[in-house]
Amino acid sequence: MERLWSSGISMIMRLQSLAPSMTAPMKLLSFLGDIEFYLLMMPALYWCWDTKKALRLGVLLMLSGSLNEALKVALHQPRPFWISSAVEAPSAETTLGLPSGHSQQAVCVWGWLAHQLRRAWAWALAVLLIVLIGVSRAYLGVHFPHCLLLGAVVGATLLWGFVRWEPRASTWLAGRNLVERLGLGLLGSLTLLGLTGAALASVHEWSVPSSWVQAVQEKAGEPIQASVSVYAVMSAGVLFGLAAGAAWLQRSGGFSAEGTLPQRLLRYMLGMAAVAVLWFGLESHLPQGTGLLALGVRYLHAGLVGLWVAGIAPLMFRGLGLAEKNSNSSVA
């Protein structure tokens, strides 16, 4: 493993030396794989493009996020700047590094959108974004090349399975009532948490090397997050919120993302104003750490955001005359 780390560090340092003034563009590319970017993107797709397709993409995104966090715990590998002070790390990260979540999520999100659009330009753009996001993560010193490769492979495998099996699952789910859907959403959410629990159980005897702890503390000013990941809890919470919101919306007459451009823009602005309050406004008031209470509150917080996006906001848009019902089309 040390040889793989060494070769990866050499490649990263060569990349950084070839383009020493590219930090800002690389941070922008990296942002396209951040949770904040998806928080901006997913509501726009759900409220203003296609509710069904956006819901499916949201589910895929949460599945991918939870799987990635579980794999990071199970494989417990470092990031480049943790083991080499020579690596510049303008975007210091405190979570474990293998596989790359940015690469995995990029393959799932942009690959799925390209699959839905079924256009050559969409596939070309998807591949370009996947490559550039991966390069940005290496340039910023937060991922080895092999972390990017494994992330892309895991993402492609998950995308393939989702494309293959999701239509059958959605057809079956369309016949379930509200209570059944809520129960299935909760079960799916808890299953995602179980992935991380199983990963933690598999490495209970492993401890973080002190050299990693020191490197992260020096560059990030925070401890390494090597135990229960807040992101895994958040992914599970959002999934349940999306499932509950979509089921409630379906029972209440559905929602059409069609409309005039001013209607769509107003929906997005009003809806995102509430997302900003729910996500960012409440952030500083949430309990910190990885205790049971803190993680439980994080789960509920993330679930509330998912519920707002998938159910409450669309019903509000209908009440304001910014959208119509779509009772003939299930969002499942």
Express each pLDDT in 176-207 by its tens digit: 999 999 999 999 999 999 988 898 888 878 88
Place of tokens 């699959």: 115
Q: Which 8-state DSSP code applies to residue 281?
A: I
Read off the DSSP letter of residue 288.
Answer: P
Most confident of 40-44, 221-225, 251-255: 40-44
Instruction: Give 217's pLDDT tier (boundaries 50, 70, 90).
Output: confident
Query: Residue 331: its pLDDT value, please?
Result: 57
Residue 85 has pLDDT above 90, yes or no: no
Position 110, amino acid: W
Which pair of tokens denotes residue 93?
């990260």
The CA radius of gyration of the chain, in Å to the nearest whole number, is 20
Q: pLDDT for 246-303, tens place per residue?
A: 999 999 999 999 999 999 999 999 999 999 999 888 877 888 776 788 889 999 999 9
Which residues are within 8 A (CB) of 60 and not within 5 positions of it... i.e. 6 or more apart?
108, 109, 112, 158, 159, 162, 166
pLDDT number for residue 121: 96
pLDDT digit string, tens, across residues 63-83:
999 999 999 999 999 999 999
Output the average pLDDT for the chain: 90
DSSP 86-110: TS--TT---B--SS-HHHHHHHHHH
Per-residue pLDDT tens over the stretch 112-157: 999 999 999 999 999 999 999 999 999 999 999 999 999 999 999 9
**In this predicted structure, what is the pLDDT of residue 68?**
94
**Alpha carbon distance 29, 293 (integer Å):** 35
In angstroms, the CA 195 to CA 214 distance is 29
